[in-house]
Amino acid sequence: MNWIGYRVVFRLHSPLHIGWRKVGNVQVTRPYLTGRSFWGALTERLARDTAAQKGQKATTSNDYHESGHQVNEYLAFTYFYPALQSGNDYQVVWPWDDERTFRRRFLSSYQSTALVYPEHSAAEGSLHEIEFLSPHTLDTADPVYLIGYVFAHKDCSLPWHDALTRLQFGGERGYGWGKTELVSLEKTDDAFSCTVDCSGRRPVITVPQDKRLLAHTKPDQIMIAGEVEPLVGREWHTNSGAGASITHFGVVYAPGGIATNEHCFAVESFGLWQKQP
């Protein structure tokens, strides 16, 4: 096998905001952790750890670029979904099964505004609201976990096991959001009960008929029932500055779409899925 699969369970310790879209003054969160967000947090951790071993600090985009390239080359990963403890195991709660109940149990928001101190008032137009995935269910206060899968190439030498213990995801991290604790890391042969072929260039997940897509999926001549959306992101480069470089992956199927037939998908960079022949 070229890839070794692991099931990863994080416990969420603070609100998690994964940027999606803006509705009025509300910044809406995705109800799951995307592969790109996982890649970003892991890249940051590995780059800083590598620099620290040399007695330095990772201060340029080149330091992060090299770590990010290695993460995409030697690791493949799924999206991470909210879960609750069920006996000695965990039960994933899919956002699309009962959207209204999911929102009522897992999502909340925080409102704030800037102040103008000389006038002792709020700054005009600064009121905003940030939606987040709560670290505890809002009705029963049960702890919320995140479950996903990481596949390591047989030649991978990245210290990613240790890095998983010190990751912080998503937006508003400066205010302490996105803190997680690694609960378990176990070898596995599947991913969300789907068969995984680990013998090829990339791990390949087989999605049975009428089952859901679990990542953004590049379009192809396949039959998928579900929503599509443009997938874009912002990156940091030395020449252009923080967030000024825009990446565009095109229009893709959103997670939650239904495969009308059995299909196989390669897990590509940033956790995106690509249909296999």
Average pLDDT per 10 consecutive residues for the chain, totaling 277 residues: 96 96 92 96 95 84 87 97 96 96 96 83 84 97 98 96 96 94 96 96 96 91 84 74 75 93 94 92
Which SS3 state, helix, strand or coil, does residue 235 take? strand
What pLDDT does 241 receive?
Answer: 67
Query: Phi and psi at residue 137, in whole multiples of 5°?
Result: -60, 145
C-beta atoms surrounding 265 within 10 Å: 25
Q: Which residues 6+ apart lie within 8 Å of 117 measured at CB? A: none
What pLDDT does 195 receive?
Answer: 96
What pLDDT does 232 receive?
Answer: 85
What radius of gyration, in Å, describes the C-alpha atoms of the chain? 19
* Beta-strand relationship, 128-133 and 26-29: parallel
What pLDDT does 8 receive?
Answer: 98
- Tokens representing 193? 């009960």
What pLDDT does 120 receive?
Answer: 78
What pLDDT does 238 receive?
Answer: 66
Distance, CA of 176 to CA of 174 (rounded, Å): 5
